[in-house]
Amino acid sequence: MFYLNKYINTLIHKTKEQNEKSNAYALGFSIEQQEGEKVEDVGGLIPKAIVKLGSTYFYSVGYDISAMTKFEEGQAKAAKAKVIDILANGNDEISINLFDKALEIAKTELASKIETNRAAYISYIIAHDTVGYGPLSILFEDKQNLEEIEVNSPQAPIVVHHTVYGKCQTNLKFSSASWFRHFLNRLIYNTEKELNENTPIIDAQVENARVHAQIKPYALSGAAASIRFTNTKKVAADYLIRNKTASAEVLAYLWLAVDAEANIIVAGAPASGKTTLLSAISSFIPKYQRIVTIEEDVNELKMDYDINNTVALYGTRYNGTTTRDQVINALRMRPNRLIVGELRGSEAKELFSGANLGIPFITTMHSNPGAIDVIKKLLIKPMAVDPKALSALDLVIYMRQTGIKSRLVENAYEYLWLNKAESEIGITINGENEVSTLTTVKKGMLEKSAMQGSKIIKMYAKKQEKSIKQALNELEKRAAFLSGVASKSPEDAIAEIQKHIMMG
């Protein structure tokens, strides 16, 4: 987990300084006993469990620091001091697992003084306190089952969002605001960022997690943080069908939209599955196309990258090259298609400018559910897309979170523009353009009655030089094909889809 080198040596010395400032090697976080009925064991070096009390679930780490005797507390401080002293004076060229080393030193110190099981638990806590991220690294051990870690204040219990049990309060909390900052900075150390008085707000990417944290004066509680784990698994059509996020028919329709080189926005609220759908439908893009992907600060897109034809770019809002800059750069790279992780600001202008030059895009955006709500958001600051350029938008897919683990492609809307002779009547946009909409997916179901007049079907038919009837037959064939790959692994599903694409 953690390795002894110059970087970690600096952290050990900072830990020593932090302890000298505080209560002489006191622990930087606490674990309180959690009452309730055990629902599930989590496992690990120290017992963890999901506990239910009434109708509420809790994520419980099974050792009560507050129940330590004065003698145990004194021994824990002495053991922590010993760990820090040995590691701070160690050889910084030795490559060892630092967590295991800290655990070993603490166990040796406590072995003859405290009962064996209690000594093992205290040693585990000391190891996380000295070379881990305190309570955060304890939770990181179970990151495959967690979607997010929330800190609302240093004094409040840490909250997690579990993939099965939803929002759970933990029995972990920081000892103070300074300890919160200490552990948070240790977590983000490799990003060359630091949460301090000069930078009281930070965004960072670590260990497949997106970290956002604030301290005073912006966090009135003293400190606040959100650590959101990103999905490391490849996601394809099989995953969406198995999880009932989208039917095979809806995905076949979206596949035709990708083939038609439609400009697509995946919209919805936070955590509604937008990026997951974007990653999945990217598997419909032929590998021979040159794709440029652009993300801001974090790497959430889990695409099946073909390094011969895919360029991945990074943008940041903080003292660097912005997403807007990278969209402009991408337009100079002769892409067949642009994929932008999320539209937030002025990069939207450039993306729509590129679309009007014939470079199609797929992106995500936070939005309310209505088709016109998306249009309104694109027109106002900070996006402020030119109303004339807006007519490049072809399709919006609206995602909704329907349960703890459930996401749904709830609605899809096609945009028919008067200035492109796609519509005869519509809603006036800023007095310069008119648009009407066609709902093609409603409450998760493909609107088959709308397919005959579907813009996407017409675009696909024109591009492939097929009749509308042939395009609709292709829709049915692809739906049957996708139903067949639903039982396969993501890797096999992606391979089957690409094989199908290459065979025409």
Single-letter amino acid code for the residue at 247: S
Query: Cα-atom radius of gyration of the chain, to the nearest Å?
Result: 26
Maximum average pLDDT range among 113-117, 124-128, 496-500 = 124-128
* Predicted confidence (pLDDT) per residue in 428-459, tens digit: 876 667 899 999 999 999 999 999 999 999 99
pLDDT the model gives residue 236: 78
pLDDT the model gives residue 135: 94
CA dist., res. 38 & res. 55, Å (int): 13
As a whole-number percent, the residues of the chain with pLDDT over 70 amount to: 88
The burial of 181, by beta-carbon neighbours within 10 Å (0-12 exposed, 13-18 middle, 19 or more buried), is given as buried
* Predicted confidence (pLDDT) per residue in 339-383, tens digit: 999 999 999 999 999 999 999 999 999 999 889 999 999 999 999
* Predicted confidence (pLDDT) per residue in 58-96, tens digit: 999 976 666 678 888 888 889 998 888 888 776 544 445
pLDDT band at 3 (very low <50, low <70, confident <90, very high): very low
pLDDT the model gives residue 1: 43
Mean pLDDT over the full length of the chain: 86
Q: pTM score, two decimals? A: 0.76
Instruction: Give the lowest-confidence range in 139-143, 177-181, 404-408.
Output: 404-408
Mean pLDDT along residues 372-399: 93
CA torsion angle 406 159 343 438 (round to 10): 30
CA dist., res. 443 & res. 176, Å (int): 47
Query: Which pair of tokens denotes residue 321?
Result: 């090259």
pLDDT band at 5 (very low <50, low <70, confident <90, very high): very low
Q: Is the pLDDT of residue 232 over 60?
A: no
* Predicted confidence (pLDDT) per residue in 156-176, tens digit: 999 999 988 888 999 999 999
Tell me the CATH class for 6-229: alpha beta
How far is the CA of 69 from the CAs of 75, 106, 121, 176, 409, in angstroms? 10, 18, 14, 21, 54
pLDDT band at 144 (very low <50, low <70, confident <90, very high): confident
Mean pLDDT along residues 402-423: 88
Mean pLDDT along residues 194-215: 90
Q: Is the pLDDT of residue 315 over 60?
A: yes
Q: Is the pLDDT of residue 324 over 60?
A: yes
Q: Which homologous superfamily does the CATH classification assign to the domain defined by 237-498?
A: P-loop containing nucleotide triphosphate hydrolases (3.40.50.300)
Domain spans of the chain?
Answer: 6-229, 237-498
pLDDT band at 12 (very low <50, low <70, confident <90, very high): low
CA dist., res. 228 & res. 208, Å (int): 9
pLDDT band at 16 (very low <50, low <70, confident <90, very high): low
